[in-house]
Chains A and B, each alone.
Chain A
Amino acid sequence: MASIKQWTKNKNILHELIRKNVKTQYRNSVLGILWSVLNPLLNMLVMWVIFSQFFGRNDPLYPIYLLSGNIMFQFLRASTTMSMTSIVNNRGLITKVKIDQYLFPMSSTLSSLINFAFSLISLLAIMLCMQVFGGHSLYGYQILFVLLLLPAFLLFQYGISLFLSVLYVFFRDIKHLYNVFLTLWTYITPVFYKINSIDPNSIAYKVLKLNPMYYFLTYFRDSMYALCNANAGVPSWKILGLLYILGIISVAIGYLVYMSLKKKIINYV
């Protein structure tokens, strides 16, 4: 009984934290919500124009390849960097009321979902434009594959977020280290290049294959392709299974770190 009560309570707190995060995010901008649609849209247009000149000139679907990879990575970047400081930034609450600290990275991760949704809408809008220009058709129900992917991706991000937010309490400089790490991570993930342009026997290829983000991007791209081409086929169920395993491993690691350092947090924030 007590645990159900605690669960509803935490659900309510999470709800309020997300609301607050989203509201404070848009409070200071004049265009508000509109800006969060325009921003990814303009960014995507720039990337489309620039990168199409260098890569994949022969591939009509290259813009989709590039943009879908980019918004997935952007989602990870935004949610984890926002989560990292979330426990420390809420020290005013932590030291004054009884609250489970894991709720802060959780709310930050979920708040980033909104920006991702806006980016996804922009991507779909661009795909619609391409249909006009490139003769592709756009199918509807395949968008469901994205919905299948999202819980796994959120779990994956939450695990990293929880881990980082707890670590940040003790080591404030990991903020800079993580930034460097993210840059490295972006380059070892096939965001703008393609994995089949690399020699399968090279070390680089093996590193790429060990990178969890590669699989998240692959699944997301395959579902985007399925959306604009009926012959593209259903994205691999095997990969989807793998994504859920990755998500669960990530949360398990984050949770272990959280549980082992939980009691110390309040003395260090």
Chain B
Amino acid sequence: MEQNFSENSEYLLKIENLNMIFKIPTLKFDTLKERVVNFFKGKKNPAKKLQVLENINCEIKRGESLGVIGHNGAGKSTLLKIVAGIYRPTSGKVDLKGNVVLLNLGAGFDMEASAEENVYLNGAILGFSRKQMKKRFNSIIEFAELQDFVKMPLKNFSSGMISRLGFAIAIDIHPDLLLVDEVLSVGDTNFQKKCIEKINSMKESGVSFMFVSHNIAQVKKLCENTLWIENSKVKGYGPSEQICKEYIEYCNSIQKK
């Protein structure tokens, strides 16, 4: 059923009028003691509303990729987490017709557990049984180049090694949509090259990407369209070539000031 439906529809992801507001308490109370003491002192703890994303609209067609650019804190990572289903948007619609994997730094790993345990745990989270993951295990470890570190707890890994593992798992799962949040920047040059090649071949086989990066050249190369978010709003949305050019001009104009 699901399969037929997704083939008929032309888009893989459609985001409509998406708003995300975080309610952040101005004082951080996380103990009972503080709550009680401040209650008797008459101190209130009003939640500060922070609009992280405002009226976002975009879509990704099957097989196409979307780049997401903007300055730090613009809301790019939050957008990806909403698409991945980790956060629930305050309002608006996220329509996703397929399965999705989010790749970010420290991609949902348990640092106390070994690489092997994390592969199986991650597999389970992504919906694969141990049996299914066993078949993939060797190719994952091989791609991540971690053959000598299978039994080592992840806390002893470098950030590059961790992101390699996350990337290797994600590509072996073959999702419909892969959300990539700046993970490529930590790997060494060889691994980056290997990843880009893999991403290209996955793109050819029909996997879509949503690609957050500060590497504008990479975004231009990989993505048909680009979404530029500035101060939680869409500043530009359209063909990558044009949006990236506008973004670079904007960055330069800020620097001059």
Contact = CB atoms under 8 A, between A and B. Distances in A.
Contact of A13 (B22, B88, B121): B121
Interface stretch (B29-37, B61-69, B241-249): B29-37
A206 interface: no
Interface residues of A, number: 32
B148 to A, nearest CB: 19
Contacts of B121: 13, 16-17, 20
A207 B102 CA distance: 52
B110 A20 contact: yes
Interface residues of B, number: 36
Interface in A145-179: 170-174, 177
Interface in B119-175: 120-125, 127-130
B151 to A, nearest CB: 10
B127 A171 contact: no
A34 interface: no
A267 interface: yes
A96 B102 contact: yes
Interface stretch (B4-12, B79-87, B223-231): B79-87
Contacts of A267: 22-24
A122 to B, nearest CB: 28
Interface in A1-19: 1, 5, 8-9, 12-13, 15-17, 19
B256 to A, nearest CB: 38
A24 B86 CA distance: 26
A33 interface: no
Contact of B124 (A13, A23, A173, A174): A13
Contact of B108 (A97, A171, A173): A97
A92 B110 contact: yes
A129 interface: no
Interface string A83-115: 000000010111111110000000000000000
A16 B23 CA distance: 33
Which of A20, A97, A177 counts the most chain B CB atoms within 10 A?
A: A97
A180 interface: no
A263 B85 CA distance: 12
A8 B123 CA distance: 13
B35 A171 contact: yes
Nearest to B118: A20
B176 interface: no
Given A98-B85, A263-B88, A267-B22, A177 B32 contact: yes
A23 B109 CA distance: 16
A8 B102 CA distance: 21
B104 interface: yes
B206 interface: no
Interface of B: 1, 22-24, 30-33, 35, 84-88, 102, 104, 106-114, 117, 120-125, 127-130
Interface of A: 1, 5, 8-9, 12-13, 15-17, 19-20, 23-24, 90, 92-99, 170-174, 177, 263, 266-268
26 contacts: A1-B1, A12-B124, A13-B125, A15-B130, A16-B124, A19-B117, A19-B120, A20-B110, A20-B117, A20-B121, A24-B112, A24-B113, A92-B108, A92-B111, A93-B109, A96-B106, A96-B107, A96-B108, A97-B122, A98-B84, A171-B31, A171-B35, A173-B31, A263-B88, A266-B87, A267-B23
